[in-house]
Amino acid sequence: MARYTVDEFINKTSQKDKGEGLFELETDRLLEVNLNGMIWTKMGSMVAYNGGIKFEREGMLEHGLEKFLKKAITGEGAHLMKAVGNGKLYLADEGKKVIILNLENDSIIVNGNDLLAFEPSLNYDIKMMRRVSSMMAGGMFNVKLEGTGMVAITSHYEPLTLVVTPERPVMTDPNATVAWSGNLMPDLRTDITFKTILGRGSGESFQMEFRGSGFVVVQPYEEVYFQTTTSG
């Protein structure tokens, strides 16, 4: 029997319906959306689709004046687009692993760079950590999602979830932090010493400190955030 034929390749890699509903993992790094209506997606994340689907960029006042002002003041924001219609939509982000979460009257905060898609039934708000933007190259913003609905987030490689308790706070590298439970309010810890100024410090000068009860998701990769600009 011949190996590595075109038919064998097509059979191995062809799309397969799993019947899991709106969001399903076509592969570990590719999200399939069985669209019948509208969802929010990260701009530039569409890799393929079929059916009658249209894409619309998020309007300036799409989520209200308050969020528009936050974006204008911070220079940051989740660059979103609407996918509207009926069909199958395939989303990915730089080959990162896709994680699907079904929120049930719950909330989660996601690093804005790691938000892939979410249902319009979820409310979202931009959260800026105090002092982070001025201390990290390119700044950092987070998106709080709350309510009932599905959200897809991404992680470089396999994520690790750490449980936070009042007795055991968790410290993380901001560049490796993907998401955390919506009830937690992390603080930024700084460890700048004379050695740091001379370039002889540990290199871990900034950490996010999580206290309370909840969880935090980290990835085995430190992302570098670049300031982005968009033309009006």
Which range among 12-16, 103-107, 144-148, 197-201 shows the weakest confidence by mean pLDDT? Answer: 197-201
pLDDT digits (tens, 9 = 90+) for 101-132: 999 999 999 998 899 999 999 999 887 765 55
Query: Facing residues of 214 across strands?
Result: 164
Burial class (CB in 10 A: 0-12, 13-18, 19+), 25: middle
Distance between CA atoms of 134 and 50, rounded to whole angstroms? 43
Token digits of residue 153: 């987030």
Q: Which of 137, 141, 94, 153 is nearest to 227 (CA)?
A: 137
Please give the C-alpha separations between residue 228 and each of 75, 76, 157, 216, in angstroms, as whole numbers. Answer: 8, 8, 24, 26
Name the DSSP class of 58.
Answer: P
pLDDT value, residue 220: 96
Percentage of the chain beyond pLDDT 90 is 56
**Residue at token pair 């600009």:** 229
* First-residue to last-residue Cα distance in the chain: 58
pLDDT value, residue 72: 45
| Per-residue pLDDT band at 187 (split at 50, 70, 90) | confident
Its pTM stands at 0.83
pLDDT value, residue 225: 58
What are the backbone angles phi and psi of residue 155, rounded to the nearest 5°?
A: -145, 140
pLDDT value, residue 192: 52
pLDDT digits (tens, 9 = 90+) for 60-95: 555 554 554 455 444 444 578 999 999 999 999 999
pLDDT digits (tens, 9 = 90+) for 171-186: 999 889 999 999 998 8
Query: Domains of the chain: which residue ranges?
Result: 21-218
Distance between CA atoms of 161 and 94, rounded to whole angstroms? 22
Model confidence at 198: pLDDT above 70 = no
Q: 111, 165 in Cβ contact below 8 A?
A: no
**Residue at token pair 């701009």:** 43
Computed over every residue of the chain, the mean pLDDT equals 83
Which range among 82-86, 163-167, 199-203 shows the weakest confidence by mean pLDDT? Answer: 199-203
Burial class (CB in 10 A: 0-12, 13-18, 19+), 160: middle
CA dihedral of 104, 105, 111, 114, whole degrees rounded to 10:
30
CATH number of 21-218: 3.60.160.10
Distance between CA atoms of 118 and 106, rounded to whole angstroms? 14
CA dihedral of 60, 41, 223, 26, whole degrees rounded to 10:
180
